[in-house]
Structure 1
Amino acid sequence: MIKISLVVSDLSSSGAGRWGGAVRPFLLSQALKKIGYEVEIVGFVDEEDQTLSISQTQVPIVAIASPKYYPQFFRSAQKLLEKITGDIIYAYKLKPTSFGLSLLKKVQTHKPVLLDIDDWELSWHGGENWKYRSTFKQFARDLFKPEGAFRQPDHPFYLKLIERWVSQADRVTLHNQFLQKRFGGVYLPNGKDIDLFDPVHYNPEVSRERFGLSDYQVLMFPGAPRPYKGVEDVLMALDLLNKPDLRLVIVGGSPYDDYDSQLMEKWGRWIIKMPKYSALEMPEVVSAAHIIVVPQRDTPAAQAQFPLKLTDGMAMAKPILATTVGDIPEILGDTGYLVEPSSPEQQAESIEYILENYEAASEQGLRSRQRCVEKYSITTMANILSELITEILKK
């Protein structure tokens, strides 16, 4: 049996391990197993936080504890290279700590390398505008101090360099037009386990009662809030509507910084925070929503994403309120409610319209699920990957 090694730069609780097997590398592993390949996931966890928030996955996971800085990182990198045992190497993310090491393994073993790009990594650092500027003294500090900037394995300087090596991958997969225009490659949408995320198994009223939401009309954001994701725009819309039974339910919260606290301080009266749930529990969580909100702002980081919240809501037949950013209009087709980004006024109008016409909105949600079944399932991912890997094996 052909074995595929998925190489992941960060498996820790703030990285790919965060959502318990529901994020891109685990979707890839599900699709690959569906085709019949053996799959392993090999990656790093933060030496100071070795928590793996990964459960209910049927894939062997090899987690290498890793320090944050060179040269200590080299020892962990060597351990990771030794643990890659697949016939095909599949690097997740365009980073030195995944793709860079995968190319090094290719040099050592001549095994083919696929690259999956699900973010424009440089977008977090200003994109094309990023440039390293410093005095000679600062450059020396960044280079030689134990925690200097150039000691970080995925510093933006290295991210910029690794982009030049994309052509060395045997195949590239990505999930939206923004990334495809920038890097080429094969479109591979995020798929959803449509049997797990099936609304027939859940009663929304019972779900709301379980989670203490029965008294509210629930707008749900199942993810980690960050400024570019537009949660503030929804909260401003709730200010405009000023209806006491409306709440924005944020599931999981942010593992990155204190942004959640900032939102609570300003808009706490509208927010209900829920903890992280496993992939198996998320369908019931989503079932409790009246509306799923995906209010992305128009930034390079948002344009380069395929929000998993979309397929959560689509698979569970929920009305979806989203913005016209990136591929969102194409993903939803005519099955969602779209507004311009950064427009609380339009969001307020749409929220009110959906809730006042909820029977029609629920019909829209059913059409959205059908679209998800046809275009954004694990089976769809598996079919695309099957063709791709067959081509590689023929070579």
Structure 2
Amino acid sequence: MSNKYGGTYLPHGKDTERFNPENFSPEKSREKYGMSDYKILMFPGTVRPHKGIEDILQAMDLLNREDLKLVLVGGRIIEDGYVNKLINKWQRWIIKLPQQSPEKMPEIVAAAHLIVVPQQLTKTSKAQFPIKLTDGMSMAKPILATKVGDIPEILGHTGYLVDPSSPEQLANKINWIFNHLEEAEKQGQKARERCIQAYSLDSMATILSQVLETVI
């Protein structure tokens, strides 16, 4: 961002102590929320057309694996019927949880095997810093995302990237990840390390302190 606009880049900070995988059991979280029988892809955010959820669901159609579920978790309530349209068409793949409080999100994200951030290439998505990235990174989850905006830079080679609007690439990568889950989980650990280093509250405090030193 600073390369584009100048100034100091201060991204969204993440409370990496609250979002700490050591405090949660993935198995217990999956049991609590009715996910125990499945491999869980999770989108922890507000579902909008440019977020690429339809691409993930098309990829699941291609894979046709009964052990996979896509969990959509709350986010802001937008009463435009879009989520219901997705559920009506792809009910077999979707588990929809209601809107959750921020305090509940670490426990819910703990249930995921894979966090998906399949942004499409739009003006809106190019300008976003998807918070769900750092939710997954801080919780040491493998992350599958698209090469849109700053997503590759945010992940810094700790996640898995495909082209936007490419269900075929998503399907291939989802299949690979679940066939190499141990390796993918190691990438998730690297993602947490990067999140602590680059996006934790401590790292944000350091950046702010440096800025204040230049103006005081």
> 2:202 is paired with a residue of what secondary structure?
helix
Higher relative contact order (CA 8 A, sep 6+): 2
Structure 1 stretches of 4+ moved >6 Å: none
State whether residues 249 and 272 of structure 1, in contact with CA within 8 Å, keep that contact through their aligned partners in structure 2: yes
Residue 264 of structure 1, CA deviation: 1.1
Residue 384 of structure 1, CA deviation: 1.4
> Is it true that 1:307 corresponds to 2:130 in the alignment?
yes
345, 359, 370: which one aligns with 2:193: 370
Higher mean displacement: 276-285 or 297-306? 276-285
Give the 3 Å change call, closer, same or farther, for CA 358–302 of structure 1 in structure 2: same
In 1, Cα distance between equivalents of 2:150 and 2:203:
17
In 1, Cα distance between equivalents of 2:163 and 2:75:
24
Give the 3 Å change call, closer, same or farther, for CA 277–253 of structure 1 in structure 2: closer
- Paired residue type of 1:245: D
33, 44, 66: which one aligns with 1:211: 33
> Is it true that 1:383 corresponds to 2:212 in the alignment?
no
> Is it true that 1:247 corresponds to 2:69 in the alignment?
yes
Aligned to 2:169: 346
Aligned to 2:119: 296
TM-score, normalised on structure 1? 0.53
Residue 254 of structure 1, CA deviation: 5.0
1:34-60 superposed Cα distances (whole Å, 9 cap, x missing partner)? xxxxxxxxxxxxxxxxxxxxxxxxxxx
TM-score, normalised on structure 2? 0.95
Aligned to 2:160: 337
> 2:70 is paired with a residue of what secondary structure?
strand
10, 22, 32: which one aligns with 1:188: 10
In 2, Cα distance between equivalents of 1:250 and 1:385:
34
- Paired residue type of 1:261: N
Residue 387 of structure 1, CA deviation: 2.4
In 1, Cα distance between equivalents of 2:127 and 2:204:
19
- Paired residue type of 2:26: P
Aligned residue pairs: how many? 215
| Matching of residues 1-395 of structure 1 within 5 Å | 176=1, 181=4, 183-253=5-75, 255-256=77-78, 257-392=80-215, 394=216
State whether residues 253 and 273 of structure 1, in contact with CA within 8 Å, keep that contact through their aligned partners in structure 2: no
- Paired residue type of 2:94: I
In 2, Cα distance between equivalents of 1:385 and 1:268:
45
In 1, Cα distance between equivalents of 2:75 and 2:94:
11
Residue 220 of structure 1, CA deviation: 0.1
Give the root-mean-square deviation of aligned CA atoms: 1.3
- Structure 2 unaligned regions, length at least 5: none
State whether residues 253 and 260 of structure 1, in contact with CA within 8 Å, keep that contact through their aligned partners in structure 2: no
Residue 253 of structure 1, CA deviation: 4.8
Q: Which of 1 and 2 has greater Rg?
A: 1
State whether residues 290 and 319 of structure 1, in contact with CA within 8 Å, keep that contact through their aligned partners in structure 2: yes
- Paired residue type of 1:252: G
